[in-house]
Amino acid sequence: MPSSIEWGLDRILGPIQSLIKKEFLIDYKDRQVWLSVLLYIISTNYLVYQSFQSIKDAEIWNTLLWIILLFAAFNVVSRSYDQERGDRELYLFMVASPQQVIAAKMIYHSLFMVVMTLLSFFIFSFFIPFPNAIGLNMGLYLLGLVGGALGLSTSLGLTSALAWKAKGGSGMVAILGMPIIIPLLISAIGYSEGVVNGMTWLAVDRFAYAILVLILLSASLGYLLFPYIWRD
């Protein structure tokens, strides 16, 4: 016999797992989102390569990468609620709570964004090698990329939910997300620039903590506000 704790966890996590699986299967069947993001990443990296050929300044290389990641995040997350119209919206309302819906979407798109971020980093490094790869602490740098990807996906996940209920487009997602995205990008670029300049964790940890706070803030606001958005 399962304990009451196990039963409670299954009741909370079960619908979230099912909704994550639903998101994956929808994208897998259509594949338009995956292919469009992949095409964006490859074409943008190739365009940067054709424009610069090589980059000797590590900070410029790092900034260009974050610009690519920012617009990739918009492509990944801004359309996350486009499919939830009509009967599908009613179905979600019946099978899961609003908190479970927003949690599932944030988790799925965070995982998707992390994969796209790492893929973009390796493609960008292939076209334009990092100027000082020997002195780069790869572990710390990848940690910053993953943190920035999670921050972008959670903050844009919240604003895309707001834009969805307001029947706005991707432009509204960008406008609503700027108050969180700008400090997030400042922290992420500050962290990664410190790493590419050879700084240790103690020198860049304040940026990492700022990214963590913004991730938790976006996730908490989404969890608390989405039920009120859902009712409208």
DSSP-H helix ranges across the chain: 4-30, 32-52, 58-77, 87-95, 98-127, 138-165, 170-196, 201-231
Per DSSP, the residues of 78-100 read TTTTTT--THHHHHHHHHS-HHH
pLDDT above 50 (res 1): no
pLDDT at 170: 61
pLDDT at 134: 60
pLDDT in tens, 173-220: 767 777 788 899 999 999 998 888 888 888 888 999 999 999 999 888
Residue 111 has a CB neighbour count (10 Å cut-off) of 16
When pLDDT is averaged across residues 50-73 and rounded to a whole number, the result is: 85
When pLDDT is averaged across residues 116-142 and rounded to a whole number, the result is: 84
pLDDT at 40: 87
**pTM of the predicted protein model:** 0.85
When pLDDT is averaged across residues 9-19 and rounded to a whole number, the result is: 72
Q: Which two tokens stand for residue 55?
A: 């980059």
pLDDT at 188: 92
When pLDDT is averaged across residues 118-141 and rounded to a whole number, the result is: 83
**Region class of 178: left (phi > 0), else alpha (psi between -120 and 50), else beta:** alpha
pLDDT above 60 (res 7): no
When pLDDT is averaged across residues 58-84 and rounded to a whole number, the result is: 81
pLDDT above 70 (res 133): no
Domain count, the chain: 1
Q: Residue 67: give the domain boundaries.
A: 4-231
**Lowest mean per-residue pLDDT among 43-52, 145-154, 158-167:** 158-167
